[in-house]
Amino acid sequence: MPYELVFKHPFTVSIHSRTTTPVVYIRIWCEGVFGIGEASMPPYLGETQESVIDFIKKVDLSEINHTADLNQILAFIDRLAPGNNAAKAGIDIAFHDLFSKIEGKHLSTFLTLPNQPKLSSFTIGLDTPEQMANKVKEAEQYGFELLKVKLGSEDDAARMDAILSVWNKPFSIDVNQGWQNPDKDLDFILELAKSGLLFVEQPYLSTDLERARRLTACSPIPIIADESIKRWADMDVIAESFHGINVKLMKSTGIAEAMRMIQRAKANGLLVVTGCMAESSCAVAAMSHLSNLADWVDLDGPFLMKNDPFLGLNLVSGMLKLPTNPGIGVDFKVPVDSWAAVEV
Ligand code: MG
């Protein structure tokens, strides 16, 4: 089911700005139970609603042995074509929803993970210093206790001054590849560390691992990879350049590989952020079940949208309360039958 998520405010980071994000919701039926998943396609990542639907049409489950387990099914789907990470994530989420519903468990129990509430951050998009300070009020209205501030421009100091004039709780910054000078950037990080800076995300171009390695080597505040890492295989490449990784379902191809990446990161002493793209409560609820594996949780997608079509994800005292219904734990606000679905 193709759908267009609409942002409450134009979403601006250092390299682009947009007002909507296309998504596709995917349902898989098995003996009267359905699993639901979401593929979200920020335009700069190259997937579209058409490419997601085309990929889903390639999936012929009759080719799978009926005794195959969930990981074998997902490995089969991954081999159908390279790329298509968001499409694969949507299918992976739908299968996890389905399998855990069949067992009558919510997803974290199905994955044998704890399901305690966990603090999540709220994103302040790049804007004028005044507007960014205004957006802090929105975070406070929701009750968020952590901010993630988008930076990566000439006026970063003025923007942080404006935000810190109205916010005295912890925060992280996401540079979205917008910085260039590790010496100057380290000075700025040390200054922000006095005001509660938790971590810095993706300071340099995704391919500029040498510059990231230089900053990571001398920064007392963790430097986290986002655009530099998508899947498990990328972990070999980035390990020396960052203190940690931001794992997102739309990059990792879904929950199964995200879990493996998180477990490997922790085994190797890397910090973990669980994040999201512009996503509704469907994909974000799915990722929220992995929250207790993360050092920091950055799952605010539904709070940035005007038209989240799901019920089910709540914030209590700044903490994401994991859904307790079976599966990923969310339901549509409107009857599913009223949707213009594409049957495949
Ligand atoms: Mg980021």
* 198 CA distance to ligand 1 middle (Å): 14
* 227 CA distance to ligand 1 middle (Å): 7
H or E stretch including 78? helix 70-78
- What's the pLDDT at 222? 98
**How many whole angstroms separate alpha carbon 135 and alpha carbon 298?**
17
Q: Which residue has the tokens 């970063």?
A: 156
**How does pLDDT run across 100-146, given as a tens digit for each residue?**
999 999 999 999 999 888 899 999 999 999 999 999 999 999 899 99
* 313 CA distance to ligand 1 middle (Å): 22
- What's the pLDDT at 115? 84
- What's the pLDDT at 331? 86
* 211 CA distance to ligand 1 middle (Å): 17
* 226 CA distance to ligand 1 middle (Å): 5
In the predicted structure, residue 24 carries a pLDDT above the cut 90: yes
**How does pLDDT run across 217-273, given as a tens digit for each residue?**
999 999 999 999 999 999 988 888 999 999 999 999 999 999 999 999 999 999 999
* 174 CA distance to ligand 1 middle (Å): 6
In the predicted structure, residue 343 carries a pLDDT above the cut 80: no
In the predicted structure, residue 202 carries a pLDDT above the cut 70: yes
- What's the pLDDT at 15? 67
Structural tokens at position 209 = 């691992």
The overall longest dimension of the chain from CA atoms, in Å, is: 60
* 277 CA distance to ligand 1 middle (Å): 9
pLDDT (average), residues 20-32: 92
- What's the pLDDT at 18? 87
**How many whole angstroms separate alpha carbon 1 and alpha carbon 224?**
34
* 220 CA distance to ligand 1 middle (Å): 20
* 28 CA distance to ligand 1 middle (Å): 30
* 13 CA distance to ligand 1 middle (Å): 9
Average pLDDT, the chain: 92
In the predicted structure, residue 312 carries a pLDDT above the cut 70: no
**Which residues, other chains included, contact 31 with Cβ-Cβ below 8 Å and sequence gap of 6+?**
none
pLDDT (average), residues 80-99: 97
Residues 229, 235: contact at Cβ < 8 Å?
A: yes
Beta strand 296-298 with 271-275 is parallel
* 175 CA distance to ligand 1 middle (Å): 7
For the entire predicted model, the pTM comes to: 0.94
